[in-house]
Chains A and B, each alone.
Chain A
Amino acid sequence: MTITNSTEISFECETGNYHTFCPISCVAWLYQKIEDSFFLVIGTKTCGYFLQNSMGVMIFSEPRYAMAELEEADISAQLKDYEELKRLCLKIKKDRNPSVIFWIGTCTTEIIKMDLEGMAPKLESEIDIPIVVARANGLDYAFTQGEDTVLAAIAQRCCEKITNLKENYNIFYSFINFGKKKINASVDEQKQVNHSPLILFGSLPEPIIRQLTLELKKQQIKISGWLPSKRYIELPILKEGGFVCSVHPYLSRTATVLIRKGKCKLINAPFPIGPDGTKAWIEKICSALDVTPIGLDEREKQIWESLEEYTQLIKGKTVFFMGDNLLETSLARFLIRCGMIVYEIGIPYMDKRFQAAELALLQKTCLETGVPIPTIVEKPDNHNQINRIMELRPDLVITGMAHANPLEARGINTKWSVEFIFEQIHGFVNAKNILKLITRPLLRNQKLKALGWQNF
């Protein structure tokens, strides 16, 4: 079964018949993050229907995204792709005037082999707006990996800029930023250690960025830039030999681009999810930058103390990750540290190299807490998983909405996995949010227990 007594993590791979969101869903949070962008998803009605329904009320707030809906004439190549895209992009330019247009390639553009990467530079110079192409399709990727494809494409741009426009851009930036406070403008520059430049990558809401910036500032570390930045025109400038570090576990392609094309050094750290992860993340960054960390143990201890009312609730409880968003390893590691027992970590895709530090921390956590090391199931098969769940009857299943209601009806507590994507979960401060999400269904069902309605 899924529990072994080995001290090594075991990996399995199933059929890949599982539910997850299409990677184009990343436009939902990325258009909000990059304020001067416009996302054009080139696909069919199916893509549009998915976005319209999954984005919920966001769709009514005039989002800076649209579908370029392919019609029969596009598929059968009766219409010229280039002319069609030009027409739409000109309209977008006129109506919204963005600083960048992202073309999100979909399954259909893959199958009909629409040469988006080839057309973009030509059209870009013709209409005078940067066009960045990301292939976030369901043939190759799952859910959050969509962000990875977009950030990898942006990283590519940053790398090109180093070689082409470095000087120009520096002048340009100092002009743009003139008179404007930078994120770390309040940081007392003298107090800081002189370390190699550090760029963090991964899209996070502005408050978390500020929180993480402050945490690193306490270690006298300065962040030179974020990928993505708040505005496309403020993209960070990569320096050869500079350090980069990720905040999300699903950004392996972006990391590859930054290492290979940007000649940056990747700090392979666990991800800043949970106080244990955040501490390990900061420690790794410190050690890479040759900075001695100060007061981290105390800070972590203090956060754990503040979490106690929640950890008491979940101690010894069992949890099963069905897997759909790639945050699973980090969350499982944190929950094990909280005292939970993880039966299975389902995950769409596991990059063992990129997640190496996270996996090592998972293993260490299991050994230290004396909990069996869970199996990591890549490309899971939902049908088999449901059978395993019914057999193991875990206290909590973390799963998508397709399975949540049916599992609840069978007396199994569930937590909707997508909420971890949209809730603030990074850093010391937000560890509590994770536990709030985890304990909410447990508490609710505990309250309803007296009614005796669990068995259906």
Chain B
Amino acid sequence: MKLAYWMYAGPAHIGTLRIVSSFKNVHAIMHAPLGDDYFNVMRSMLERERNFTPVTTSVVDRHVLARGSQDKIVNNINRKDKEETPDLIVLTPTCTSSILQEDLENFVERASMESTADVLLADVNHYRVNELEAADRTLEQIVRFYLEKAKKENQLCLEKTEKPSVNIIGITNLGFHHQHDCRELKKLFADLDIQINVIMPETAAVTDLKYLTRAWFNIIPYREIGLLTAQYLKKEYGMSYIDINPIGLIETVRFLTTIQKCLNQSINCIESKDLVLNNIQIFLKNTWFNNDYNKQICNPIGKKTIVFGSSTHAASLTKILTKEMGIHVLCSGTYCVYDKDWFFEQVLHFCNKILITEDHTKIGDFIAKSEPNAILGTQMERHLGKRLNIPCGVISAPVHIQNFPLSYKPFIGFEGIKHICDLIYNCFTFGISHSLLSIFEQKQINTTKINQINENIDLIWDIEAQNELKKIPGFVRGRIQRNIEILAREKNINLINVEVLYALKEIVADN
């Protein structure tokens, strides 16, 4: 047993559901108790999704506990098959249902005999893997299933496309800025004159998967999701993959040159050098790097910071901060403990300390002790920063609704680096302006207080009413007090007690 208040990566089934609901026309059926379908709320709320999330529950209740699911799961699968006619239904166990040790494989087999949809059982151990690992596995499982199926039916397209083409693997819903990154990648490949073969799982249909092998190569923009699939495709079909995360100027350039190298081996057809130079020139011209004012006032060079997040984003940001901006990274860390070797290798030379942990209090303690000028982390670090009065930029999941901006904010590619610069720059300037503001504010408070006292002279609040007033949240208390006092004067009331308070509050509540 572990005492836990906060977790960075969710439970396994969330990962599976993210993959399943990213595909077009695929339905997930959770084998779970009532209330475990919180995924639907998150997707609808965070992604502001316009469609019903294709996830339903085959509810585990007392009856299931006593007698087993029996026909319930099979009926639910076949019912969904008729209602929604999906291409694929994925039966998803949860932590709870997996200890029931029902033979779900058997249900899947029985259901698939009747259904027109394919039926799969998500193959993840709920006590050994987290959201990200599960997502990685489920994606590979689905790809493997459809490639093998296509092979059996002799429908696999092994012939490569005429022009160079690429598969983008690992774009999912509820991913941190994935939608924007995806658009940026599309633009990047359009500029390079490389066709996009399949983007998956987001926007892909499972029926597209048999065309995967037509691409010349694969890219995995994020370390966490897609690697297993890429490895499988390499092993089975000899497809090479690029797993550089194109975040930051240097890494984007490395990403592009690697693509070029990769393609030039087979055919010499593109020239990315112009693209790179062009973009860097535009970038340098537009940014604050060259602005004299900023150089003098708010130059973050040499400032101290702490980075924490998913392995992709934490590693990339650490490199950007040290190599591209000259900021001192005191500590770089990730919660992807299962992949710690990779992370260690990535940031080894770019920070004083490496922290690989799932425990938010360890990062909190380090932040409190080392007092950085700014933090780049997740929502949790943002709140830690708030408490310690240190500005924080959010660079990684876990996410809130404000991490799903409507405006175009990729992290990847040339547009991404502009966004990252804004983020980092704003963090540091915010810290400065905040401290300046607090100096000015102190003077103002004194004058406003005097005004209030003058106004209050003819009115008396008895102690109970005062206590009641104190219970009103601070940000509206002043307004409510003022309204009540105005009303009391109108009604010629001098003493405000609880009863009067409530009577008046009823009247002013609307305003």
Contacts and interface: CB of A to CB of B under 8 A. Distances in A.
B270 interface: no
Interface residues of A, number: 72
Given A383-B56, A409-B50, A45 B7 contact: yes
A112 B98 CA distance: 11
Contact of B38 (A54, A79, A406): A54
B14 interface: yes
A429 interface: yes
Nearest to A41: B4
Contacts of B34: 16, 20, 22, 138-139, 141-142
B96 A108 contact: yes
Contacts of B6: 52, 59
A108 B99 contact: yes
Nearest to A74: B1
A111 B61 contact: no
Interface string B32-48: 11111110111011001
A383 B34 CA distance: 15
Interface in B46-62: 48-53, 56-57, 59-62
Contacts of A137: 33
Nearest to B128: A72
Given A17-B56, A19-B40, A214-B498, A429 B506 contact: yes
Contact of A111 (B36, B96, B126): B96
A68 interface: yes
B127 to A, nearest CB: 4
Interface in B1-50: 1-7, 10-14, 32-38, 40-42, 44-45, 48-50
Contact of B4 (A69, A207, A403, A404): A69
A409 B47 CA distance: 13
A289 interface: no
B99 A49 contact: no
A403 B52 contact: yes
A67 interface: yes
B11 A107 contact: no
Q: What class of interface size applies to chain B in its complex with A?
A: 35 or more
A142 B35 contact: yes
Given A50-B36, A52-B7, A456-B50, A69 B2 contact: yes
Interface stretch (A83-91, A118-126, A240-248): A83-91
Residue of B1, B32, B41, B44 most packed against chain A (CB within 10 A): B1
Contacts of A429: 502, 505-506, 509
A253 to B, nearest CB: 15
Main SS of the interface on chain A? helix
B35 A406 contact: no
A354 B24 CA distance: 46
Nearest to A88: B3
Nearest to A49: B10
A405 B45 contact: yes
Contacts of B38: 21-22, 49-50, 53-54
B324 interface: no
Given A72-B127, A400-B41, A16 B61 contact: yes
Contact of B499 (A19, A22, A214): A214
A67 B6 CA distance: 9
B464 interface: yes
Residue of A108, A138, A404 most packed against chain B (CB within 10 A): A138
Interface in A81-115: 84-85, 87-88, 91-92, 106-108, 110-112
Residue of B7, B35, B94 most packed against chain A (CB within 10 A): B35
A392 interface: no
B67 to A, nearest CB: 13
Contacts of B509: 429, 432
Contacts of B100: 111
A45 B129 CA distance: 11
B376 interface: no
Given A20-B34, A45-B10, A50-B35, A67 B3 contact: yes
Given A57-B383, A138-B96, 19 more contacts: A22-B35, A44-B126, A45-B130, A46-B95, A49-B10, A60-B380, A66-B5, A71-B2, A110-B65, A139-B33, A140-B61, A142-B34, A186-B498, A206-B471, A386-B52, A401-B41, A406-B44, A429-B505, A432-B510
14 contacts: A21-B35, A22-B38, A67-B4, A67-B5, A71-B1, A88-B1, A88-B3, A108-B99, A138-B96, A142-B34, A186-B464, A186-B497, A210-B498, A429-B505
